[in-house]
Structure 1
Amino acid sequence: MSQQSRPKLNLKSFIYPAILLLLMWAVHLYRDHQHQQNVSEHTKNMVYLEGETMGTYYHIKYIDPQGRNFKTQVDSLLVAFNQSQSTYIPTSEISVFNKNHGLTYQSPYFYQVLKTSKQVYEATDGAFDPTVLPLVKAWGFGPGKKDEMTPHKVDSLKALVDFKSISFDSLAAQKSRPEVQLDFSALAKGYGVDVVTDYIRAQGIDNIMVEIGGEVDCYGISDKNQAWVIGIDEPLTADELKARGGGRQLFAAIQVQDRGMATSGNYRNYYIENGKKYAHTIDPKSGYPVQHSILSATVLAPNCMIADAYATAFMVMGVEKAKTVLQQHPELDAYLIYSDENGKLKVYATKKAEQSMINIRKS
């Protein structure tokens, strides 16, 4: 081909794409720089609080440009909260109620817990029942000594599980059967999380994570300028953890934003008697510790108290019944870990929960 017949190069066909690529790269660098600046700023403004409450520990993180420390206020709140909810304190509000026919509320907490308890009790057909205290104590998972449990003993105590015998309004609560006793341990930690969260958010804090004994509220964003990421433990017994060298063994992690999250499981709090394992979750209807294949129930809900209550209910109900409740309540999401007939770990997750998972372990 002669030199005159060669096609001329169109420089525009090279220059314009090159300029576009450079612009895209510049935008990427700018956004990355801005993100790093935001992360750095959030990290600088992050406040960390920790302490003890309800027989466990609390951990709090929040972003505050003023660097305010609310530990004194948080501790005072939790002392007042325990004085309302703890069955281990003889003078607590719940202990006074359990010893008498009724109670005029001494705090703003009692009525709120009763309302949520009734809501979850009805939604789970009684799988969640806060009047299970006599059975919890008798099986050795509450205040006092464990009883010698026989079928007759279980039946006699099961007759005391009767949430319908309790009536209440915004001022007071009564019971038609004085021997019925309340136990809010299945949602008290979750509610404690909400109480602390509400207080700190009322101070103008938008980005916060509050955790008490594994129950969590997450609002806004973390110091990494993204949704908070919360781990879900692998359901290992204390002996299994020890065999792996101790420490925390994560099964998965989940992004949580503007919701409460709670996990209930039977793999840590249990005892073995005469070769049989007895877990701390008591079925209010059978009167016995649950024996389901479900090992861990993680629930996400509008607040941590609701998440805590449903997590306990799902441990009582088992996987299939829990699925039915989840289908009826779109405000809830869950991540359930259970074992199949061969002892292999399996997972059921609602769609939103699965979409929020990070590094989910495939079963």
Structure 2
Amino acid sequence: MRSNANKNIIYSIILLLLVAIVYLYRQNQQKPVEEIEEKVTGKVTLNGNTMGTTYNITYLDPSERDFQVSIDSLLVVFNQSLSTYVPDSELSKFNQGDTLFFGLPYFLPVLQSSKAVYETTGGAFDPTVGPLVNLWGFGPTGPQLKDSVNIDEMLDLIGFNKITFDSASVIKTKPGMYLDFSAIAKGYGVDVVAEFLKGKGIENLLVEIGGELVARGMNEKGELWKVGINRPEELGRADDLYSIVALDNKAMATSGNYRNYYESGGIKISHTINPATGRPVNHNLLSATVMAGDCMTADAYATAMMVMGTDKAIELQKIQNLFEIFLIYSDSTGQLKSYASEGIKPFLSFPQD
């Protein structure tokens, strides 16, 4: 009898252990589903207007905090520093005078980054090209195209090396010089917003302003954030994609001439002005996408490459090897072709694939 009793006790213990193992197994099987559900319910999407364009922000936050008011306020202050469209911004005051003492924290970093890219690209990126941008009709005052003699005379005011600055102020060496940060400010604004969200504990985010963007962490599916590159066609739809890039904690910016232009005398006038000649570029590069560690850098190099053209852009990336590029250009027959640097290829896909 005692032997049977002992056996019953052993069987009971074994049964309890089996029940416990099954319970733990089911709990572990359910855990990933719960985590995914938490990510989905923690997804926050914000959008609005800034810098004459739109912004779209997506981030994952279990508490679903809404930072829209804070972000809008941050961007207002940002524009108060760097916008040529705000009459009393720091940049506008500098363009109207000769010296500016910094009052906000954004002017100095954009000067430092501009100088670095200016020197690296041999002047292809140059924020002092502002007067020529305005002259050709792409500034805040609208078209005011003059004759070529005036353009040649204005070249004396072009050259970022004619701007001097330190930690406290920036000075023009030639009266009449004009700074325009439109080719770098959106990218910088993306960095500023992404850094703000990081300070709030947000680890997974996608911030986009006017097509320039930063991705951090993963999306709600636990995958890398994916963004599209448009086909460089004048009448193409906004959702007509040429390629898709997965961003692994990277920033990306794209510059192109295929939409921002006007016609004069049957000639297309591109918004990309060559600082060396004072005239719009005329080459076969249609779109330049740069992937870098920060969006301010990506934005500036994307613009520089549209000035340089396909071959020089490829050469620069190979020499620097600090960023990756994806270029779309037209060949001698007018067909679209593309070039991808080695570092971007693993993250690149095409809609037809």
Residue 190 of structure 2 corresponds to: 193
Is 2:137–2:145's contact at 8 Å kept on the other side of the alignment? no
Distance 1:36 1:298, change over 3 A: farther
Cα distance in structure 2, aligned partners of 1:256 and 1:321: 25
SS of match in other structure, 1:211: strand
2:229 pairs, out of 221, 228, 232, with: 232
2:300 pairs, out of 298, 309, 327, with: 309
- TM alignment of 1:5-16, pairs within 5 A: none
Residue 150 of structure 1 corresponds to: 147
Cα distance in structure 1, aligned partners of 2:36 and 2:316: 39
- TM alignment of 1:1-363, pairs within 5 A: 37-237=34-234, 240-241=235-236, 246-359=237-350
Cα distance in structure 2, aligned partners of 1:35 and 1:222: 15
| Number of aligned positions between the proteins | 328
Distance 1:32 1:357, change over 3 A: farther
Cα distance in structure 1, aligned partners of 2:185 and 2:176: 22
TM-score, structure 2 normalization: 0.89
Q: CA deviation at 1:147?
A: 2.4
Tell me the C-alpha RMSD between the 2 structures: 1.8
Instruction: Give a deviation string over 1:16-65, Cα, whole Å, max 9, x none.
Output: xxxxxxxxxxxxxx999766554433211111111110111111111111
Which letter does structure 1 place at the counterpart of 2:315? Answer: T
Which letter does structure 1 place at the counterpart of 2:98? Answer: H
> Unpaired segments of 5 or more residues in structure 1?
1-29
> Unpaired segments of 5 or more residues in structure 2?
1-26
Cα distance in structure 2, aligned partners of 1:361 and 1:200: 35
Residue 9 of structure 1 corresponds to: none
Is 1:63–1:205's contact at 8 Å kept on the other side of the alignment? yes
Distance 1:352 1:33, change over 3 A: farther
Cα distance in structure 1, aligned partners of 2:231 and 2:168: 43
Distance 1:361 1:141, change over 3 A: farther
Q: CA deviation at 1:145?
A: 3.6
Is 1:162–1:180's contact at 8 Å kept on the other side of the alignment? no
Which letter does structure 2 place at the counterpart of 1:331? Answer: L
Distance 1:293 1:34, change over 3 A: farther
Q: CA deviation at 1:331?
A: 2.1
Which letter does structure 2 place at the counterpart of 1:56? Answer: T
Cα distance in structure 1, aligned partners of 2:122 and 2:33: 50
Cα distance in structure 2, aligned partners of 1:39 and 1:290: 49
Which letter does structure 1 place at the counterpart of 2:143? Answer: K
Percent pairwise identity: 46
Instruction: Give a deviation string over 1:110-160, Cα, whole Å, max 9, x none.
Output: 000000000000000000000001100000000114223322121012221
